[in-house]
Amino acid sequence: MTKPAADIRPSRLDKAEVERNFADIHPPLSRSEALIEADRCYFCFDAPCTTACPTGIDIPGFIQKIRSDNIRGSAHTILRENIMGGMCARVCPTEVLCEEACVRNAHEDKPVEIGLLQRYATDPVFENSTKLFERAAPSGKTVAVVGGGPAGLSCAHRLAMLGHDVKVFNKDGKPGGLNEYGIAAYKTVDDFAQREVDYILSIGGIEIENGVELGVDVTLAELRDSYDAVFLGIGLGDVNELGIDDEDLPGIENAIDYIADLRQADDKSTLPVGCNVVVVGGGMTAIDIAVQSKRLGAERVDIVYRRGPEQMGASEFEQKLAQTNGVTIHHFMRPVRVHGADFVTGVELEKTRLDRDGKIRGTGETLDLEADVLFKAIGQKLDEILSAELDGITLERGKIVVDESQATSLAGVWAGGDCVLRGDDLTVSAVQHGKVAAIAIDRQLRS
């Protein structure tokens, strides 16, 4: 590799073009479009779409209400099961959940566009601050929620609705978790994440303290002593390493950190972006950082994944999105060496194959790619501080073990979201974890 210097700079594209590139990727339906789409639903009695939804939304029910122009009722049907139904309508991989289960697929037809219909129903609620839920009579009980992401906020809202007082301890500067800091900017425009948070808090009974980190500013033991129950929605605070030499070279970055900077930038065109960008990983974060780099003006963006397209965590839709945005995906390749002295200039990849037992083997065949920036997007893990703070809670493969009610092995402590063993890094699943935990906490507190 003979590149003399890293080509990383802002303003590769002018501000107007960047703003166009980061416009809403799925514009909302008009009323006539929504009515036409709603009319395509068969309103199945044993609706497989509802079964496929992690939060169990009555999908035929809310679509039927759209048909009758009962938008408020439709929104209530959605939000009573998934208080973050507005965000999930934007970011949920419906193509592998409810829409994949739609019976129209069995007839070689396209599925009902459930995600867009869900957004059509819920957007007016957030725009008009429509009050759909009331608090129950005060229970006199207090619950600590650690984490201001989807799991924590979902748990807090349901607990508040059931009459309990909730204190949310959030380590970030703003609540919202990955909805605020970790999702591609073109999926959630116009500060929607914070508008949804404001709506959740409007029920009352929820206090949020930002900038508070478990194990640094407060301990789990203190929370257990001070509150009647504790819910942990702490996410995963650290990033997995590539496991190769010189991984700390300047230019090798965590994808999730850059996405956070991008989401918080007032002018996205001012963010520095490489000319040649390489992303290692196969999930949604890998797709998000790759597409956003391209839309910021990177000339070449490559995704490197050690397995095949069928094993990628990103859905087929997301993979196609990357490719139609000019991103090249290299399957069955893994990084084995980075090039560069003072900064990264490239990466050497080795071709891989899967053995019969499913294990990855290197073939010895290599390929070099130029890189000004190498993004790591190979998953996250609990950091050392959090792991130490969870003493007494059973962990498996670096995640918290919970039962069907989201209870941990430590009395009075529940958990949900990415930090639990059966978490799948989806907002919709985290919301369900928080809801299930809140119902279980309420049951225990009242008994």
**Domains detected in the chain:** 31-128 (1.10.1060.10), 142-237+382-446 (3.50.50.60), 240-376 (3.50.50.60)
Phi-psi region of 383 (alpha: psi -120 to 50; beta: other; left: phi over 0): beta
**E strand spans, 12-146:** 142-146
Span 220-243, mean pLDDT? 96
CB 52 within 8 A of CB 92: no
Span 163-176, mean pLDDT? 98
What is the gyration radius of the CA atoms in the chain, in angstroms?
A: 23
Going by the DSSP 8-state scheme, the letter that residue 264 receives in this structure is H
Collapsed DSSP state (helix, strand, coil) of residue 347? strand
Residue-wise pLDDT for 85-116, tens only, equals 999 999 999 999 999 999 998 777 899 999 99
Residue-wise pLDDT for 306-351, tens only, equals 999 999 999 999 999 999 999 999 999 999 999 999 999 999 999 9
Structure tokens, 27: 């514009």
Give the DSSP letter string of 284-341: HHHHHHHHHHHHTT-SEEEEE-SS-GGG-SS-HHHHHHHHHTTEEEE-SEEEEEEE-S
Checking if the pLDDT of 290 tops 90, the result is: yes
Checking if the pLDDT of 65 tops 50, the result is: yes
Rounded to 5°, angle at Cα 425 from 420 and 426? 115
Residue-wise pLDDT for 232-281, tens only, equals 999 998 999 999 999 999 999 999 999 999 999 999 999 999 999 999 99
Q: What is the pLDDT of residue 1?
A: 40
Q: What is the pLDDT of residue 357?
A: 86
Checking if the pLDDT of 4 tops 60, the result is: no
Residue-wise pLDDT for 394-429, tens only, equals 999 999 999 999 999 999 999 999 999 987 889 999
Residue-wise pLDDT for 351-406, tens only, equals 999 998 889 999 999 999 999 999 999 999 998 899 999 999 999 999 999 999 99
Checking if the pLDDT of 5 tops 70, the result is: no
**44: exposed, middle or buried (C-beta count within 10 Å: 0-12, 13-18, 19+)?**
middle
Span 79-87, mean pLDDT? 98
Q: How far from each other are the two terminal CA atoms of the chain, in whole angstroms?
A: 68
Q: What is the pLDDT of residue 306?
A: 97
